[in-house]
Structures are given as structure tokens and as C-alpha cells.
Amino acid sequence: MVLRYATKICMYFFGIRRGIDYVLRPLMLLVLMAALNAGLKNSIVGTTGAALLLDIGITMLVCVPFVFLVYVIMMHQIKEQRGLISDAQTDDLTGLPNRRAFSRRTERALRTGRHGYFLIIDADHFKRVNDTLGHPSGDLCLQAIADRIKSVLRKDDLIGRIGGEEFGVLLFDRTMEEIQRFSGRLCFPIKVSVPGHNDLLRLTVSAGATEINPNDTLSNLTARADEALIAAKKNGRERMVLWRNRLTQSEVA
């Protein structure tokens, strides 16, 4: 119990928040140390009045360098740790959450029971781009696709790069009409300027989508979205297919 409360106190004082990091929290920690020292002296020696105030002042002056040094070191370590965590969860090329981070966030969202749609989005004929124009051009294309997807999402939707040219998306609180409009905006051709290529490169994407049902798991959603994506590719690409059920399997959205 004591250890738990001590941990909470340390996290409060050493947690990073802009605006109070560099002044307020060190001062609070300094005052806390001085008050504790004064309380101990008062209980042991019985110091009161002016002598007690003088002792508090001396304690604060002596502790200032130590408190600020420890605080700066702790802040540096916390920032470094957060940077490492962010790097481990982010796709370097697109800046999107990577597969692991996206999966973790999706699983957390599924536990809330919120209504939504799960999508797998794949670039059409992407191997052809890498083979003919090279991987640097392919990287530009992936960044353009990521930008397109982000441009049609709402603030609380989830997105991640889950494979080479595959992206995962979780849409929240959409009607069927909104899903159809989303499909049109998503699958509209993307024009990319590639170095050494005179004309703008035309990119398209295909997507498989499935509605989230109660008690769905990420594995179930991925399997259904994959089936719908395959159907989208077979039906001519440049479209989104919505998975329905085992009998009708998929339907063009």
C-alpha cells in the first residue's frame, strides 16, 4: 500500500506536462521536502516559531540544486523512454502506427462495443511500380496513399500500416450512406509526381470492409475484410467491397 502511494506521488511530480514542468513541480517537491524535514524536527526536537521557519528556509536553500538536478535527469530519462516507445510503434516511412500499435488500439476499441467498420486497404498493382520505377518511387507512392487515407478519416478513426502496401482502418459511427461516400473518396485515383517521370503517376487502391459485430475479435474482422478485399481485386480493383455474410459473401459498397 505504502509503495503504491509512493509510486503515484513520484509519477505526479516527475510526469511531464507542458506549462508546469520546469518551475511549479520542482517547487512543489522542494516545499514537500522542507515540510517533511520541519515536521520531523518539530516532532523530535520540538522546534517551533521563528526557529522552525528559519530551518525550513535553510532546508529549501540547501535542497534547491539537488531537487532541480534530479528533476532534470528524470525528465530527460522519461522523454528518452517515450521517444523509444514512439519509435517502436511508428512506421518510419508513413509516420502511421505500425501493425503492432494498430492492432493494440483496435483491440482496445473493440472492447468498448462502439459501432464501426474495419477495413483493409491495398494499393493496386504496386509491385509494378517498384519493378519499373524503383523502390524510392514506391515509397513516395505509399506516402501519397497514406495521405489520401488520412484525408478522408475523422479525428477519432484509427489507421495503421499493417503490411508492405496494406493499411488497416477502423471507422466509427458511420451510416451506410456515409460508407458509400467514404468509398468514393478513398478509391478516387491518386496522382503522384515521381522524379524522372514526366507524367503524373496514377495510383488506385482497393479495400475490403466489414461491419463490426458484438463480440467480434480482430482475427475475425481481418479474415472477413481480407475476403472482401479479394473480391474487390477480382471485380476490377479501384473499389471497396463490403463483406456481408457467408451466402452473399461480399457486396460492392
d(CA 52, CA 47): 6
pTM: 0.67
Domains of the chain: 2-89 (no CATH), 99-252 (3.30.70.270)
Model confidence pLDDT, tens digit, residues 83-129: 545 545 799 999 999 999 999 999 999 999 999 999 999 999 999 99
Q: Could you give phi then psi for residue 197, rounded to 5 degrees?
A: -120, 115
DSSP state of 212: P
d(CA 71, CA 33): 14
Question: Could you tell me where the beta strands, DSSP code E, fall in 11-148?
Answer: 116-123
Of all residues in the chain, the percent with pLDDT exceeding 70 is 62
Query: How does residue 64 score in pLDDT terms, banded at 50, 70 and 90?
Result: low
Asked if residues 144 and 192 have their Cβ atoms less than 8 Å apart, the reply is: yes
Contacts of 25 (CB under 8 A, 6+ apart): 13, 14, 71
Q: Which amino acid is at 220?
A: N
Is the confidence at residue 252, as pLDDT, over 70?
Answer: no
Contacts of 119 (CB under 8 A, 6+ apart): 168, 169, 170, 171, 207, 208, 209, 210, 225, 240
Average pLDDT over the chain, rounded to an integer: 80
For 154-195, the DSSP string reads -TT-EEEE-SSSEEEEEEES--HHHHHHHHHHHHS-EEE--T
Q: Which amino acid is at 141?
A: C
Partners of 240 in the β-ladder: 207
Assess whether 165 carries a catalytic annotation: yes
DSSP state of 215: T
Asked if residues 224 and 246 have their Cβ atoms less than 8 Å apart, the reply is: no
d(CA 199, CA 28): 62
Catalytic residue among 107, 165, 166, 238: 165
Provide the pLDDT for residue 186. Answer: 97
d(CA 156, CA 251): 26
253 closest CA partner among 186, 176, 189: 176
d(CA 247, CA 162): 28
- Here the cell at position 190 is 491518386
Q: Which residues of 184-195 are buried (b: 16+ CB within 10 A; e: fewer)?
A: eebbeebebebe
Q: How many CB atoms lie within 10 A of CB 110?
A: 20
Query: How does residue 58 score in pLDDT terms, banded at 50, 70 and 90?
Result: low
Model confidence pLDDT, tens digit, residues 179-229: 999 999 999 999 999 888 788 999 999 999 999 999 999 999 999 999 999
